[in-house]
Amino acid sequence: MQWKLDNNAPLYLQIADKVKLGIVSGEYAPGKRIDSVRDLAEQTGVNPNTMQRALSRLEDEGLLSTNRTNGKYVTEDTELINQIKDELAKKYVENFLASMKQMGFSGNIILALVQHEVGKGENANVYTGM
Amino acid sequence: MFILECSNITKNYGACKALDSVNLQLEKGKIVGLLGPNGSGKTTLLKLANGLLSPTSGSISIAGGSPGVHSKKIVAYLPERTYLNEWMKVKDIVAFFADFYANFSREKAIDMLQALGLPQNAKLSSLSKGNKEKVQLILVMAREAELYLLDEPIGGVDPAARDYIINTIIRNYSASATILLSTHLIQDVERIFDSVVFLNKGKIALQGPVDDIREEKGCSIDELFREVFKC
Amino acid sequence: MLGKLLKYEIQATSRVFLPLYLGLLAVAVAASFTLQSNLDVLKGIIMFLLVMLYGALIVVTVVLLIQRFYRNLLKDEGYLMFTLPVHQATLVASKLVTACLWSILSTIVGAASGMIAGRSLIDINGIADAISQAVEFLAENSISPLLVLLAFSVGAAQFVQFVLQVYLSLAIGQLPSLSKHRVLSSIAVFIVASIAVQIIFTVALSGMVPSFMEFAVTANDGFEIAYGLSPAKTSQAVALTTEMLWIALIYNLALAAAMFFGTTWILKNKLNLE
């Protein structure tokens, strides 16, 4: 799992975001155990303490829980997961709109562009799952 | 108790001040980057920590005691130079380390040698410089030490081996061990650091946890280094 | 730890000495045959080889003694040796012990080669006679075996002191202030030390001057010098010699100890690996 991490910003935050994304997208299924801190650190090529910090952050948010002997588990609280997913979606849209507006596009053109992309055959499957 | 504590360390070489009132405390379970341009005092600091040099003033302690036979048991040092002799084979130097260090793991050493394709029967004198450095690094990493002092561990090896080495460092991470790593290749390794220490002309210019620095300065450690040590 | 160091020291050095010893012994055996023959050309070649190997034996023993200390402790290998969990004193001791070991072995091998090569020229009876005559002489002049032992001890002590003087010179030569000219500094220190050692020894013996004078004055009798000393003079000579040997022994041992500590101190506090 070679995440693209940026050295110019705190790594633990980026990792937390990537794992969060994995959880909301279902890659890390609810209730399933994730790899150990050590394994994840090795896979990503980061310091285990950094990885621990990132996962602790998600634990604070309730997305992960630590079973002392067995490792870390994704929460089974699907309601929470969906809530986070919605928050993320909202943030993505906000960022997208901000970027588009910066280029000078009006709201209508933005909608048209988005509709066009969604309409394209390959993308249809990806978005109907909402 | 800190695994390494330098209190007002000054080291003079005649008129030249290699280290000037350096204060440093390293906790267990951390991977710390010792960064600085050539001649900044990095190697001197590492040598002081393993007893190869005595400070001109100030004190240094390893796990609470001064450098000596006791500290050498728990400190694993990788110097920048090759210290391998001419007559031994790879398996001989492995046996040598196993003989002198109780915390040396022969299995680990052999695993790593195989992973890097280094034949055990090869004569040390026949190895290329890069391979000699790999052997030295393996010998150090195969020790279950409490303090690892690595002086430019990835400088002379190819990128693939570099990745393997960085991975090995992560994999061997232990909450009871500390690594102090000095390097020029910051970009490659900055992700494995907990914190960094910038050394400039014998003085500590900056030190702190890496993610805090990234947040504060808004740039990578590599970027910051270039800025601080601009020529 | 000393045992372990010795093991590796011997492994490292026997690679040079064992082949040399075997070679020398082999040539000695060859010489023992050719000397009896009339093959002059072959005789000459083998003798030449023998002499060369003898020279090599001496040179190699001395050079290796110096080189092992210098290369293994003061050059790149020092990074390995001085980070091992052993005292600096143990490292110096390991070098000293192996130096003595090989010196003794080289002497034995040299002597053995000589005897093997010249066995056709040796008259066993003649040697037996010479030995018994020597033993008689010692007994007649009340020179106890202990005195002989003392003499050998002084020889050994001088050798140990010599080796440690070499080590100390090398250690001083690597000091930061001198390290720009390591080799020259070491040689200079060694020479100065040798001179100093001699001068101090003479001073140490100066206490014995009156006794020497007394002996010399009264022995100035041509008859005694030509036909051997009287029992009284002989025992006086023996007493003087004994006293001198004791002084020499204590002096060399004290000097060796001082040089050992000096070397160890420098390696502990002023080590200057490049």
* Contact residues, A window 43-82, toward B, CB-based 8 Å cutoff: 45-50, 53
**Is residue A112 over pLDDT 60?**
yes
CB-closest option in B30, B212, B222 to A7: B222
Residue B52: its chain C contacts at CB < 8 A?
A: 79, 82-83, 271, 273
At C83, is the pLDDT very low, low, confident or very high (cuts 50, 70, 90)?
A: very high
What's the pLDDT score for residue A1?
58
pLDDT tens string A10-35: 999 999 999 999 999 888 989 889 99
Maximum average pLDDT range among A6-10, C35-39, C139-143: A6-10
**Is residue C145 over pLDDT 90?**
no
Chain-centroid distance of CA C113 in Å reads: 19
CA–CA distances in Å: residue C71 to residues B86, C67, C174, C259, C273: 11, 6, 12, 20, 11
For every one of its 231 residues, what pLDDT tens digit does chain B have, with 9 covering 90 and above? Answer: 899 999 999 999 888 899 999 999 999 999 999 999 888 999 999 999 999 999 999 999 999 999 999 999 999 999 999 999 889 999 999 999 999 999 999 999 999 999 999 999 999 999 998 899 999 999 999 999 999 999 999 888 888 888 888 999 999 899 999 999 999 889 989 999 999 999 999 999 999 999 999 999 999 999 999 999 987
Print the SS3 string covering chain B.
Answer: CCCEEEEEEEEEECCEEEEEEEEEEECCCCEEEEECCCCCCHHHHHHHHCCCCCCCEEEEEECCECCCHHHHHHEEEECCCCCCCCCCEHHHHHHHHHHHCCCECHHHHHHHHHHCCCCCCCEHHHCCHHHHHHHHHHHHHCECCCEEEEECCCCCCCHHHHHHHHHHHHHCCCCCCEEEEECCCHHHHHHHCCEEEEEECCEEEEEEEHHHHHHHHCCCHHHHHHHHCCC
Q: Which two tokens stand for residue A25?
A: 């997208």
Lowest mean pLDDT among C9-23, C24-38, C185-199: C24-38
- ipTM, interface predicted TM-score of the complex: 0.93
Fill in the amino acid letter for C250.
Answer: I
C211: three-class secondary structure by DSSP: helix
At A127, is the pLDDT very low, low, confident or very high (cuts 50, 70, 90)?
A: low
What's the pLDDT score for residue B166?
92
What is the distance between the terminal CA atoms of chain B, rounded to a whole angstrom?
38
* Mean pLDDT, residues A48-57: 95
Q: Does pTM top 0.80 for this prediction? A: yes
At C147, is the pLDDT very low, low, confident or very high (cuts 50, 70, 90)?
A: confident
What's the pLDDT score for residue B122?
93
Give chains near B: 3+ CB pairs under 8 A. Answer: A, C
What's the pLDDT score for residue B114?
94
What's the pLDDT score for residue B146?
96
At C222, is the pLDDT very low, low, confident or very high (cuts 50, 70, 90)?
A: low
- In whole angstroms, what is the distance from residue C61 CA to residue C72 CA? 16
Look at B85 and C271 and tell me if their CB atoms are within 8 Å: no
Mean pLDDT estimate for chain C: 86
* Mean pLDDT, residues A79-104: 92
**Is residue C217 over pLDDT 90?**
no
* Mean pLDDT, residues C165-171: 96
Q: Do the Cβ atoms of C134 and C233 come closer than 8 Å?
A: no
Look at B83 and C8 and tell me if their CB atoms are within 8 Å: no
Q: Do the Cβ atoms of B182 and B42 come closer than 8 Å?
A: yes
Residue of C nearest to B51 (CA): C83
